């Protein structure tokens, strides 16, 4: 089912507040951040990270898709020209989005990922299914990283015309989430309310979160967390990459052949990437919801290939690779 909106309602909202409308399930661009496939295997000794061929630099700016509309075209004109169901599934490298809202009591809407639940403003739902799987949970924080909320992906959208006009990718969320982040119940794309968004473990409770009090502590026991020995890492097959080998504070990891374990907790996202010696190893993905640099102290966010050869952004010791 694709979320649809009444066109006349779109005109009223667009004129009054520039609100988001017209989402759908079509795609016009490939994802830059697709997961890979096999479970982690037993850990092996890790070589030092000095020779990793990675680029550690500021994330590239996200550029919206050009839909080839005429100069001066408004969002409504773009929607009419392209029709519903056109989205952009690329994930921004810096995890920066802007926030809009949809659904509330009296304006309930069906959603793609649920049959019994609706977008009615009574739970912490969000639209971004083209980028994140149905029912996955995502941490959203404000641009200053002072307020935090966990939402569940329930629908597709926003439409590519909205993101083109806004110049940024967008999270379309429940009024409850907007209230937690900004103290408001409604937001349109023209208001430019910046947020950062990153996936968390599927058992992370929905709603307000306190993950920003001590971000580095969240990683303990997960891939990328600090450790003194293997037992300090809370997942099967874990290895603590030692500080003496060039991993500041130690680094929980595991050797892998595809997908890494999504360990419990709010800092659970990892990727199977190649380390200095060409070993496939679980490394923490960069997380700009917790850290301004994307990584905990002593680490830099770097581009390096995963085991399939696809690009990935992971935390590696500061000074690793090229700049």
Ranges of each domain in the chain: 7-25+85-208
Could you name the CATH architecture of 7-25+85-208? Answer: Beta Barrel (2.40)
- Give SS3 for 205: coil
Question: β-strands 311-317, 299-305: how paired?
Answer: antiparallel
Spatial distance between the Cα atoms of 221 and 238, rounded to a whole number of angstroms: 9
Please tell me the predicted confidence (pLDDT) of residue 89: 95
- Burial of 260-269, coded b for 16+ CB within 10 Å and e otherwise, reads bbbbebbbbb
Spatial distance between the Cα atoms of 317 and 296, rounded to a whole number of angstroms: 10
- Burial of 139-161, coded b for 16+ CB within 10 Å and e otherwise, reads bbbbeebebbbbbbbbbbbbbbb
Spatial distance between the Cα atoms of 77 and 84, rounded to a whole number of angstroms: 12
Please tell me the predicted confidence (pLDDT) of residue 265: 53
Spatial distance between the Cα atoms of 237 and 130, rounded to a whole number of angstroms: 32
CB 271 within 8 A of CB 314: yes
Please tell me the predicted confidence (pLDDT) of residue 262: 63
Q: Which of 286, 214, 224 is nearest to 261 (CA)?
A: 224
- Burial of 199-226, coded b for 16+ CB within 10 Å and e otherwise, reads bbbeebebebbebbeebbebbbbbbbbb
Please tell me the predicted confidence (pLDDT) of residue 26: 53
Q: For every one of its 323 residues, what pLDDT tens digit does the chain have, with 9 covering 90 and above? A: 444 333 333 333 333 333 334 344 455 544 333 332 223 333 333 444 444 467 888 899 999 999 999 999 999 999 999 998 899 999 999 999 999 999 988 889 999 999 899 999 999 999 999 999 999 999 999 999 999 999 999 999 999 999 999 999 999 999 999 999 999 999 999 999 999 999 988 889 999 999 888 888 888 888 999 999 999 888 888 999 999 999 999 999 998 888 786 665 555 578 898 776 678 889 999 999 999 999 999 999 998 888 888 888 999 998 876 55
Please tell me the predicted confidence (pLDDT) of residue 188: 93
| Cα separation values, 258 from 39, 151, 234, Å | 6, 27, 19
Please spell the DSSP secondary structure of 15-50, one letter per residue.
Answer: HHH-------SEESS--S-----PPB--------ST
Give 234's contacts (C-beta < 8 A, 6+ positions apart): 220, 221, 222, 252, 263, 264
Tokens representing 255 are 């050797």
Please tell me the predicted confidence (pLDDT) of residue 279: 81
Please tell me the predicted confidence (pLDDT) of residue 309: 85
Q: 232: how many CB neighbours lie within 10 A of its CB?
A: 15
| Cα separation values, 159 from 22, 26, 127, 144, 152, Å | 6, 9, 10, 27, 19
């Amino acid at each position: 089912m694709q979320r649809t909106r009444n066109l006349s309602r779109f005109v009223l909202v667009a004129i009054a507040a520039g609100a988001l409308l017209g989402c759908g399930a079509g795609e016009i661009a490939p994802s830059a951040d697709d997961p890979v496939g096999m479970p982690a295997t037993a850990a092996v000794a890790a070589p030092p990270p000095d020779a990793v061929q990675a680029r550690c630099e500021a994330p590239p700016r996200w550029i919206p898709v050009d839909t080839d509309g005429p100069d001066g075209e408004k969002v409504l004109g773009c929607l009419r020209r392209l029709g519903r169901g056109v989205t952009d599934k690329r994930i921004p490298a810096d995890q920066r989005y802007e926030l809009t809202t949809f659904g509330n009591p009296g304006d309930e809407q069906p959603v793609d990922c649920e049959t019994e639940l609706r977008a009615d403003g009574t739970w912490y739902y969000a639209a971004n299914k083209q980028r994140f799987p149905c029912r996955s949970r995502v941490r959203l924080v404000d641009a200053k990283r002072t307020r935090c909320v966990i939402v569940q992906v329930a629908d597709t959208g926003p439409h590519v015309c909205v993101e083109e006009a806004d110049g940024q990718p967008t999270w379309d969320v429940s009024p409850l989430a907007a209230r937690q982040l900004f103290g408001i119940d409604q937001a349109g794309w023209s208001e430019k309310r910046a947020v950062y968004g990153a996936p968390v473990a599927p058992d992370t409770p929905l709603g307000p979160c306190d993950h920003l009090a001590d971000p580095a502590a969240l990683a303990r026991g997960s891939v990328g967390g600090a450790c003194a020995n293997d037992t300090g890492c809370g997942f099967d097959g874990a290895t603590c990459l030692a500080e003496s080998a060039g991993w500041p504070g130690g680094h929980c990891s595991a050797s892998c052949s595809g997908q890494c374990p999504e360990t419990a907790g709010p800092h659970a996202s990892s990727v199977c990437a190649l380390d200095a010696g060409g070993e496939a190893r679980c490394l923490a993905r960069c997380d700009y919801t917790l850290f301004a640099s994307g990584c905990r102290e002593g680490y830099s966010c770097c581009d390096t290939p995963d085991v399939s050869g696809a690009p990935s952004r992971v935390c590696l010791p500061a000074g690793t690779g090229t700049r």
